[in-house]
Amino acid sequence: MSTLSFGSWPSPVAARDRVAGAGVPASPTSDGGAVHWLESRPETGARVILCRRDTDGTVSDVSPEWMSVRSRVHEYGGGAYAARDSVVLAVDFETQRLWRLDGDPVALTPRTPDAALRWSAMEVDVRRGVVYVVREDHTDPDVEPVNELVRLPLRGGEARVVVPGRRRPLPRPDADDAGDPALPDFVADPALSPDGAHLAWVQWSHPGMPWDAGEVWLGRLTPEGDVAESWRVAGGALGASASEPVWLDSRRLAFLTDPEGVAVPHVVDAEPVSTPVALAPTVHEHGLPGWQLRTRTLAALPGGRVAAVRVVEGRERITVYGDGEATDLPHTVTAVSGLAPHGDGLVAEVGHVTEGWTTVAVDPSGGSEVVARRGTVPEAAYVAEAEAVSWPGHAGDTAYGFLHRPTHPDAAAPDGELPPLLVMAHGGPTSATNTVPSARFSYYTSRGIAVLDVNYGGSTGYGRAYRERLRDGWGVVDIEDVVRGAQHLADAGVVDGARMGVIGGSAGGYVVLASLAFHDVFSAGISYFGVADPSLLAQETHKMESRYLDGLIGPWPAARATYDARSPLHHVDGIDAPLLLLQGLDDRVVPPSQTTAIADALRSRGREVEVVELEGEGHGFRKPENIVRTAELELDFLGRCWGFTPRP
């Protein structure tokens, strides 16, 4: 056993190991017994590949080598492919064109300048020879991008609008701007009934976000596939939201909704539409925030049963509801990123405490078979067990997180030395952490740095009331929850209070900047494409989030004083700790202007700030060489801040 200071322990977990763990969610589906999924491989750079495993076990790449399967609808994408009734469709990232891939590749949509037409969330209807798909239209520079649900011939041809979207004039639209208020600003996730008679979908409008304003609608289809009449069946009333419509059979529709403050599966009868009936008690939250289209956390099973992702104390599990009973699948699952029916069972991507992320086929008895793996798990001796912790956060309300302690089989620190702490703040801010072992955590813990991964107020998984702690409180509640979490561990003698840093991206980057500007707890900060000034974000960000801050801070510009009060850019004099800023130059969500503005302000005051700008990267880094580079920069930066020398 070697005695070495925390931070300088030798580790087999290298920066390149974080590349594999940074792969895209698999988003698995099943068609005729074959399983399809997405994966990215280090040797192919940032390209996302559509893969298939046939019933005989043969695995092949479905997408051609020139294609990366990603959608840019809502900028966060999701729903970039579909496989149903032997029809395979996928979106090419560079052009955003929709292609048919069952056979020689055929483009179903036209090429447009700057990928002005974008497509996502396909639902194949082989009876009518069409696909229902979300189209995001950026072709009119005087109008906000228009989101509509269209039907498109599977052999190519003119798209026909099925659910029109609201057209709002630019510049930045407000809630009462021109346009038909009866039309939605956003549509998502079409779901065709098994008999083809009905179509369900999700819609919502500014200033809401899908998790607080989402509505499930149901439409009767004509023989040609148009919506003859439609009804809202859930969401939009009493503050409830609804999402993820899934047909149990041609008569019954299941979905998630939270009229009592906790999202649980519900079911209704179609035509006449019945009152929604809850399938689970309102004890545990179900589902995940709808940042991407086709966020699949519900799946229909034979016999009218429903599989759902249930969140218990920050950990996710798969629960099957039916016949008045609830059964947890017998797996050591801590996170789930996708569910889909597969024969009489399921296919899902799940995170295990020992195996990391795997795509598995689950049979009705609960047995499973691994179809594919995403990334690798570090050697068990170097993996810290995630400990659930809580502390009094903002206003004394409980905040939650997971502590990962320094872990190494052959190294220990000198007696009396406490480890440095790196606090991780997730993005969103309506997102959540998970406890799947990964090189992201072990990269630090195996070197002797503790990690606190925080689910601050506003995070998903603890019910609507916890999520809405952030309403009008962004920049206060989340910041105090993070700061007090670090201070709680320092006061308890778990970590060295003089060596605590904070890291995060997007809204998590805002936590980094605001924590340094308004508090003196952290001695280092690392911000990935962080929000430096909410006012700039309100004016510059993309359509989906252009009104997000109305609920988090207040209407802009009416609440300008509050925006300025919570802006790190307006309080850079409070930032004394060294700061590392990392920014993709193609970011449309948090534009590079945010990083430039705060870096210039800090330099003008003689503060220590490092800036790394990366060509070809957007809101989240994907190129392997950039993931390696930024990981090494993180560790070197912390070593200089805290007085240790990282070992190669």
Inform me whether the pLDDT recorded for 572 exceeds 90: yes
In what order do the strands lie in the sheet containing 98-100?
A: 81-84, 87-91, 98-100, 106-107
HSE (side-chain half, CA atoms, 13 Å) at 100: 22
Q: To the nearest whole percent, how much of the chain has pLDDT over 90?
A: 77
Give the pLDDT confidence score for residue 497 in this predicted structure: 97
How far is Cα 551 from Cα 568, in angstroms, rounded to an integer? 19
Closest by alpha carbon to 611, among 547, 546, 532, 540? 532
Question: What does R_g of the chain's alpha carbons equal in angstroms?
Answer: 24
Closest by alpha carbon to 236, among 257, 218, 254, 252? 257
The ranges assigned to domains in the chain are: 2-16+378-642, 24-62+296-374, 69-289
Residue with tokens 């059964």: 327
3-state SS, residue 409:
coil
Q: What does the pLDDT average to over 45-60?
A: 93
250: CB partners within 8 A, 6+ apart: 193, 194, 195, 197, 198, 270
- Superfamily per CATH, domain 2-16+378-642: Alpha/Beta hydrolase fold, catalytic domain (3.40.50.1820)
How far is Cα 429 from Cα 551, in angstroms, rounded to an integer? 12
Q: Alpha carbon of 302 to those of 236, 338, 647: distances in Å?
A: 30, 18, 54
Q: How confident is the model at residue 339 (pLDDT cuts 50, 70, 90)?
A: very high
- 69-289 classified as CATH 2.130.10.10: yes
How far is Cα 606 from Cα 603, in angstroms, rounded to an integer? 5
Inform me whether the pLDDT recorded for 19 exceeds 90: no
Average pLDDT, the chain: 93
Closest by alpha carbon to 25, among 312, 288, 209? 288
How far is Cα 549 from Cα 566, in angstroms, rounded to an integer? 12
DSSP string for 90-129: EEBTTT--EEE-SSS-EE-S---GGG-EEEEEEEEETTTT
Burial class (CB within 10 angstroms; exposed 0-12, middle 13-18, buried 19+) of 412: middle
How far is Cα 554 from Cα 271, in angstroms, rounded to an integer? 40
Angle (nearest 5°) at CA 511 between 506 and 513: 95
275: CB partners within 8 A, 6+ apart: 268
Inform me whether the pLDDT recorded for 461 exceeds 70: yes
Give the pLDDT confidence score for residue 44 in this predicted structure: 76
Q: What does the pLDDT average to over 132-138?
A: 98
Q: How confident is the model at residue 237 (pLDDT cuts 50, 70, 90)?
A: low
Among the ranges given (18-27, 166-175, 203-212, 471-480), the one the predictor scored with the smallest mean pLDDT: 18-27
Q: Which residues pair with 31 in a beta bridge?
A: 34
* H or E element in which residue 593 lies: helix 592-604
Q: Which residues pair with 148 in a beta bridge?
A: 135
How far is Cα 128 from Cα 478, in angstroms, rounded to an integer? 49
CB of 620 closer than 8 Å to CB of 505 = yes
Burial class (CB within 10 angstroms; exposed 0-12, middle 13-18, buried 19+) of 144: buried
218-230 tens-digit pLDDT: 999 999 999 999 9
150-174 tens-digit pLDDT: 999 999 899 999 999 999 998 877 7
* CB burial readout 71-99, b (16+ within 10 A) else e: bbbbbbbbbbbbbbeebbbbbbbebbbbb
3-state SS, residue 472:
coil
Inform me whether the pLDDT recorded for 381 exceeds 70: yes
Residue with tokens 């190519």: 156
Helices (H) and strands (E) in the chain, counts: 11, 38
Question: Can you list the alpha helix ranges (DSSP code H) found in 157-258?
Answer: 210-213
How far is Cα 510 from Cα 508, in angstroms, rounded to an integer? 5
In what order do the strands lie in the sheet containing 117-125?
A: 117-125, 130-137, 146-153, 160-163
Give the pLDDT confidence score for residue 138 in this predicted structure: 97
CB of 346 closer than 8 Å to CB of 359 = no
Q: How confident is the model at residue 331 (pLDDT cuts 50, 70, 90)?
A: low
